[in-house]
Amino acid sequence: MQYAFSLVAAALLVIGLAGNGYEMRKIRLSTVKDEELTSKNIFLNKRNFKWYIIIGVSLAIWAIGVYT
């Protein structure tokens, strides 16, 4: 059972990190014009929170798998 938790947690972590990177790239490309600096609030954009939740859930599942 612990291996299943670890596998699910690893899969969710990879999906969350890849999705967050892709989403941040889309946000940066949509807000940046020629020779402008990126927004400092790119991490606090609403579209990123779903990825943060997936990453947090994966860490919680990993902790459950390790400590049970």
Range of the domain at 6: 2-67
Domain count, the chain: 1
- Which two tokens mark 65? 């798998």
20 neighbors 52 (Cβ within 8 angstroms) = yes
3-state secondary structure of 62: helix
Cα dist from 12 to 2, 59, 65, whole Å: 15, 9, 14
Sequence-ordered list of residues with C-beta below 8 angstroms from that of 2, at least 6 positions apart, any chain: 65, 66, 68
- Print pLDDT tens along the chain (68 aa): 788 899 999 999 999 999 999 998 888 887 766 555 556 678 888 889 999 999 999 999 999 988 87
